[in-house]
Structure formats: C-alpha cells, structure tokens
Amino acid sequence: PAVGAHALQTGPTDAELFEYVFGGGNTLLALSFVVNIALAGLTILGIVYLGRSLTDPRSKAIATALLLISVVSISSYTGLTSGLTLSVIEMPAGHPAAGATTAGESGVLVMWGRYLTWTFSTPFILIALGLIAGSNWTKILTTCAFTIAMCVTGLAAALTTSSLVLRWWWFVLSSTFFLVIVYVILVDWTAEAERTGTSDLFRTLKLLTVVGWFGYPILWALGVEGIAILDVAITSWGYSILDVITKYVVTFLALSYIVDEPESITGGSDYGATLPGSRVSDD
C-alpha cells in the first residue's frame, strides 16, 4: 500500500463486503442489520403519528430528540447493510483473532459504523432523558460531550491495530467516560426527576438505559474486538437487541407519557411557552 495508507483504504470494498454479508451464508448477520432498519422506520412513523398533537415546547423538544435517535439509527444500519461502514481489519499480535481471515482477506469483520453512529445517536438519548428529568443544559451537554468522547474512543479501540495494549487502553478511556454519564443519570437526574415530578417514568427509563448501556462494553469485550469468544453474527445481534431496548423501547415509553403533556413535563417560558409553567393549547 501507498505510504500513509490507512487500514480503511485497503481490504475489501463496500461492494465485496455487501456480497459477503448478503450473498448467502451470513443470513443471521444480514438480518441483524435489516431488522433494525425496519424497526427504526416504524419508530419514526410512530413518533410522527403520536407526536402530531403535541403543543407544549418542551414536549416537542423531547419528541424531536426521540425522533432524531431513530433518524440516526436508520442511517447507521443502512451504512452497515450497504457494506460502507464495515471493514476487514487485521488484529495485532497476541489478539485471539490475530491471523483470522474473512471474505478471503486476512482480518476480522469490524462493524466500525456502529461506534461511529453512536456518536450521533447517544447524545439524543441523553437530551431526551435530561429533559424528562428536568435537568439543565449544563448537565445535559456535559453528558453529550462525554458520550461523544466515549464513542470516538470506542471507535479508536476497534480500529487500533498497532498494539493489543493500546486497544484495551482505549477501552479503559472509553469506559471512564461512560462512568461519568452513569453518575449523572443515577445521581443528579434521579434527584432532579424527583423534584420535577417525573420520577415514575424516569425510574423505568433509567433502569433500561443504565442496564442496557452496560451491555455494550460487555459485548465489546466478549466479541470479536475483545477476547473473541462470541462470533461476529452473535455480537451483531447482541448490539441490535440492545439497540431495541435502549432506543425503541425507551422512545415508546417516553412518548406515551409525554403525549398527555402532564404538568411535570411542560417547561414554561424557558422553552418558549407563552404562559410560564403552563402548556400552550389551541383548543
């Protein structure tokens, strides 16, 4: 390869990877992508339908954040399905999958598009949760910055081929950023939801989010990027199922609560309502 050529510029093309995934023999892997395109599409339609009558600015802000989670998701899974955000990457010496071959190339199939697109989807999950808890933008944007840091360092962990130690060092960095987010959710937002009056909903969303999000680093560690005891299709289904819980289940629970526009959700003049603390209604 040319001097400076990156791992992503060598190896199979998107067309070859598409053929590898969809050309038969990898049906399980292919389904783990396609099922989520369908679910994200249905969720988008559901939000547009259920959210059409929202009038309060804060309810609308939450519904918009929820919508954007699925907008990112459908794009993410389209990237994986098309082969564009997949690569065959050689693991460093000492890695359990070092020396593996995939689609006739040496290396393992890395779904790096997942880590890339979490950078854009997870902030919207945190914006929705923070708004539901009644938190302030300082804390919400802090969690957004840390989730972006977590996802980008997670991407670095997946793509680093120079050394096994550095792959796991990226993993440690990413996990540290993750713990900051967990702290804000469990401590700050739990207390704020109590004051706001949304603690019933928040308790459920918190449980699904914290437990669900812990599944991702566990899968990473057990999957082909980590100690490689789970194969690519199982790892991919693991992420796809976690996505269903942390995105679509969370979305529908939150949405079915806010469509009633209870007093605890409406944000008053801070969010552009004309009467402070009340909802703007046109009926």
Instruction: Choose between 96 and 217: whose C-beta lies nearer to ligand RET.
Output: 217
Nearest to 238 by CA among 225, 250, 251: 225
CA–CA–CA angle 126, 177, 249 (5° rounding): 30
User: What is the closest distance, in whole angstroms, from the C-beta atom of residue 126 to ligand RET in the complex?
Assistant: 9
Choosing from 243, 248, 273, 279, the residue that interacts with ligand RET (CB under 6 A) is: 243
Q: Which two tokens stand for residue 233?
A: 């299709």
Binding status of residue 157 toward ligand RET by CB under 6 A:
yes
- Scan residues 72-91 and list those touching ligand RET (CB under 6 A): 73
| 214 in Cβ contact with 155 (< 8 Å) | no
Instruction: Choose between 85 and 122: whose C-beta lies nearer to ligand RET.
Output: 122
Instruction: Choose between 20 and 202: whose C-beta lies nearer to ligand RET.
Output: 202
Nearest to 168 by CA among 239, 91, 85, 101: 91
Binding status of residue 146 toward ligand RET by CB under 6 A:
no
Instruction: Choose between 135 and 147: whose C-beta lies nearer to ligand RET.
Output: 147
Instruction: Choose between 144 and 157: whose C-beta lies nearer to ligand RET.
Output: 157
Q: Which residues contact 197 (CB under 8 A, 6 or more apart)?
A: 262, 263, 264
User: What is the closest distance, in whole angstroms, from the C-beta atom of residue 133 to ligand RET in the complex?
Assistant: 17
User: What is the closest distance, in whole angstroms, from the C-beta atom of residue 52 to ligand RET in the complex?
Assistant: 24
Q: Which listed range, 57-65, 105-113, 119-127, 256-264, lies at the site for ligand RET (CB under 6 A)?
A: 119-127
| 67 in Cβ contact with 93 (< 8 Å) | no
Nearest to 26 by CA among 280, 241, 180, 234: 234
Instruction: Choose between 12 and 223: whose C-beta lies nearer to ligand RET.
Output: 223
| 106 in Cβ contact with 90 (< 8 Å) | yes
Cα-Cα-Cα-Cα dihedral of 154, 155, 156, 160, to 10°? 110
For residue 277, give the DSSP letter: T
Applying CB under 6 A, the site for ligand RET has a residue count of: 21
Nearest to 41 by CA among 231, 211, 187, 247: 247
Choosing from 58, 167, 206, 247, the residue that interacts with ligand RET (CB under 6 A) is: 247
Phi, psi (deg, nearest 5) at residue 248: -75, -40
Q: Which listed range, 46-54, 55-63, 211-219, 259-267, lies at the site for ligand RET (CB under 6 A)?
A: 211-219
Q: Which listed range, 10-18, 57-65, 240-248, 265-273, lies at the site for ligand RET (CB under 6 A)?
A: 240-248
Instruction: Choose between 143 and 196: whose C-beta lies nearer to ligand RET.
Output: 143
